[in-house]
């Protein structure tokens, strides 16, 4: 994948651009999915942001009026792509990483 050009940041440093990078670079992947309400916070979620600190691992956070909040992970395993929620509970194992990330959006919605 190639990274799209980023536009200036929005309020509180939240990027308005869709930015995707190859997972092997360990870069941030932003604006995956639609804004969703967050049941664990009194604030409304602005967007989900994905970071890939190492190949095969994606960490989700949500931007709220109160700041960033951990939302879950997708990890590549021998069985597939395992999705865990923000409390560490397994939501499911998926065929692809994109499918697992979309499932987190549905799970939070």
pLDDT in the model for residue 103: 94
Place of tokens 């930015």: 19
Over residues 29-63, the pLDDT tens digits come to 544 444 444 455 444 545 889 999 999 999 999 98
Structure-block tokens of residue 5: 């050009």
Q: Cβ distance 66 to 41 under 8 Å?
A: yes
Cβ pair 78, 60 in contact under 8 A: no
57-101 confidence digits (pLDDT tens): 999 999 888 888 999 999 999 999 999 999 999 999 999 999 999
Distance CA 85, CA 48 (A): 13
Exposure letters 61-95 (e unless 16+ CB within 10 A, then b): bbbbeeeebebbbbbbeeebbbbbbbeeeebeebe
């Amino acid at each position: 994948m190639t990274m799209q050009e980023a536009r200036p940041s929005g309020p509180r440093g939240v990027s308005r651009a869709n930015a995707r990078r190859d997972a092997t670079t360990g870069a941030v992947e932003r604006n995956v999915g639609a804004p969703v309400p967050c049941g664990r916070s009194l604030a409304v979620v602005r967007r989900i942001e994905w970071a890939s600190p190492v190949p095969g691992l994606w960490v989700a956070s949500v931007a709220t009026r109160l700041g960033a909040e951990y939302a879950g992970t997708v990890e590549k395993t021998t069985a597939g792509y395992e999705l865990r929620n923000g409390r560490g509970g397994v939501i499911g194992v998926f065929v692809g990483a994109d499918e697992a990330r979309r499932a987190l959006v549905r799970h939070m919605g």
